[in-house]
A and B are shown apart, each in its own frame.
Chain A
């Protein structure tokens, strides 16, 4: 394998148009020239030989024979690493052996799940070795009575959902990326999603996990107890650590019962005050059956209906709300929802809308919310902000940014998890523009910080938001986070360059 030390001239590639498009993305190292590669080893034939000795051929992908752009480029086509090697372990032990070796040889590693992250946290910055968990996709056990599912980290979320449904259970989380994202990545990023309002976040629903530390040591926290107050709850550290404290290889997830009755409604609303009133009355009148309350503004609606040609039940409104209820009795739920809607219609809080009559319509209505990100991506370059703000100020930031940016962007829109106070602010331009970026940042983070909100509600920090951690977390907190990182990963080989500003060696 003498070609490892030169960039292969004859890379055999299997082109899909998506793969070709990925090759046009600018290298992260070029776009962010202030980033400096850490003092890690460069991959050699000796290293490759070791990996090939502990893994099967199809588990070791080099750039000589494979197109690695799918692993090196993120879903948003916004960052691109230059990794030359992808390792695909099949067991926790293999993960341990890989990390033990990399730690000893000072090789940087980028753990990767479904690569659907939106902050450049799931792909290398330079030539870190990519460790893809995709082959560890088994559902080990599901128990209907306790609701506990034990799953390997590489299991695609939608696949897990299918198996849960067969056991009268459902996922405690749901997000647009579920066809590609993996449960391990969801746990590593503390993914939120559209039903957090009802089932809470992963810090609550993950009962246990197995994590492999930087030195290859396997930490077994895979308990399945709902209640366990025996010492520090270390598993919580890994949830949301974005692959920087350890690699999650197995998860024990507590899953709720599958609702037998799901109603989806989509409504047009004339003012933000009416949006808040709809939320208030929905929480009050739907109570325990409310499972989602999502906001879509006119601009996002326009994007998804015109660019993706999706059908909408209503025409132009300044705001739209998508409501979902999940319960165990269709008659009971339908009655609650119908009474609520009659009341809201009568006092003009909502003006028009629809309730899905079958699952096809329910899916189509959800598509109006879940495919906004995809529609925006097709416009060009997306500047994506995922923030937590006080609910009463939920939409204010969008108006503020729209006024500030004037004609610079193609679009400035807002949508998101109204019920959780989590806004997705999105700005688009035809191509990446540093001028536009500088007008947005750090202004947007300042604004959120002044509201004591979060500069990253659910997307995490990854690479793209690492510099803004102190807009939400105090210096003392960040100091102790760094110390913890040093404790768990003294050689800083796990997902370096991510979540903290600057380098750890500074």
Chain B
């Protein structure tokens, strides 16, 4: 096998940052806040790199859509082992209303333009938790899909994928070309080592606009308001069971 793999990587607010809502409730504060690659996308890149090391894949193309800073996210992907990057620049208000459907359309077009055999994306982004991009991309391309993958094996020209589902684990066989979305236990991403970080600076990143891919990114939704979840009420300790029953009654729960 000699696959060309397209991996979608999203720049999101770092998982450890405490999210704060803007005072005007129009969104969350992103200015000056630490961002990094969506953890599930790190896993997707790692899987692609492992497939290249096993000689199942011959080239890995990393793709990211967003403001100029997405270049950093692409450099991380390149440092981990991707060969080249594609940055579709979208900024400002259009970026704030980007949806999985827009990204799926971009991925689908890129798959055709770049002759891609396999698309791997993280199963969801930690900011919107949509879990839609892989599925919609497959539908647009009329390709099979294997989502929430926890193991991928190449066998006789197709992929055997173990999926994590509610009932347990499901093993399916998908023909190539296909779309896969990476779940948490698929692998443990490597650290990008210094020599590779230095090499990555020289790898090419192609800049495109949504128009180049024939995708209209005008908003399909309007954000009405963004609010913090209600503050968790403090608990209270009681001395014994009788007092607990009394308290429950007073609060109207019994």
Contact = CB atoms under 8 A, between A and B. Distances in A.
A354 B80 CA distance: 11
Given A165-B18, A311-B188, A357 B36 contact: yes
Interface stretch (B111-119, B194-202, B203-211, B225-233): B194-202
B194 A341 contact: yes
A261 B17 CA distance: 12
A60 B223 CA distance: 56
Interface in A330-355: 330, 341-342, 345, 350, 352-355
Given A311-B188, A359-B17, A345 B195 contact: yes
B35 to A, nearest CB: 9
Contacts of B197: 354-355
B16 A359 contact: yes
Interface string A234-264: 0000000000000000000000000011000
B194 A350 contact: yes
Given A260-B32, A358-B36, A314 B193 contact: yes
Nearest to A360: B15
A345 B198 contact: yes
A165 B194 CA distance: 31
Given A260-B32, A261-B34, A330-B34, A357 B195 contact: no
Contacts of A261: 34
B16 A361 contact: no
Contacts of A166: 18
A311, A342, A345, A358: which has the most chain B beta carbons within 10 Å?
A358
Given A260-B32, A350-B194, A357 B39 contact: no
Contact residues on A (Cβ < 8 Å of other chain), bracket: 20 to 34
Contact residues on B (Cβ < 8 Å of other chain), bracket: 20 to 34
28 contacts: A166-B18, A260-B32, A260-B34, A261-B34, A267-B194, A311-B188, A311-B191, A313-B190, A341-B194, A345-B198, A350-B194, A352-B193, A352-B194, A352-B195, A353-B194, A354-B192, A354-B193, A354-B197, A355-B192, A355-B197, A357-B42, A357-B76, A358-B14, A358-B15, A358-B37, A359-B17, A359-B34, A360-B39
B15 A359 contact: yes
Contacts, number: 54
Given A342-B198, A359-B17, A360-B16, A313 B34 contact: no
B200 to A, nearest CB: 11
Nearest to A165: B18
Contacts of B191: 311, 313, 354, 361
Contact of A359 (B36, B76, B193, B195): B36
Interface in B69-105: 76
B188 A354 contact: no
B76, B188, B191, B193: which has the most chain A beta carbons within 10 Å?
B191
Nearest to A345: B194
A313 B37 contact: no
A220 B198 CA distance: 56
A167 B198 CA distance: 37
Interface in A259-305: 260-261, 267
Contacts of B37: 357-358
Contacts of A355: 192, 194, 197
A267 B197 CA distance: 13
Interface string B131-173: 0000000000000000000000000000000000000000000
Contacts of A361: 191
Interface in B8-38: 14-18, 32, 34, 36-37
Interface string A346-377: 00001011110111110100000000000000
Contacts of A352: 193-195
Given A354-B197, A357-B42, 11 more contacts: A260-B32, A261-B34, A313-B193, A314-B193, A345-B194, A350-B194, A354-B191, A355-B197, A357-B192, A358-B15, A361-B191
Nearest to B32: A260
What are the 6 tightest A-B residue pairs by CB atom distance, in nearest-first order?
A: A358-B36, A313-B191, A359-B16, A354-B191, A353-B194, A357-B76
A128 B17 CA distance: 44
A362 to B, nearest CB: 8
A360 B18 CA distance: 14
Contacts of A330: 34
Contacts of A311: 188, 191
Contacts of B193: 313-314, 352-354
Contacts of B18: 165-166
Nearest to A361: B191
Contacts of B76: 357
Nearest to A261: B34
B121 to A, nearest CB: 18
Contacts of A313: 190-191, 193
A357 B192 CA distance: 8
B39, B76, B192: which has the most chain A beta carbons within 10 Å?
B192
B79 to A, nearest CB: 8
A99 to B, nearest CB: 29
B236 to A, nearest CB: 15
A450 to B, nearest CB: 39
Nearest to B196: A354
A14 to B, nearest CB: 18
Contacts of B15: 358-360
Contacts of B42: 357
Nearest to A353: B194
Contacts of A357: 36-37, 42, 76, 192
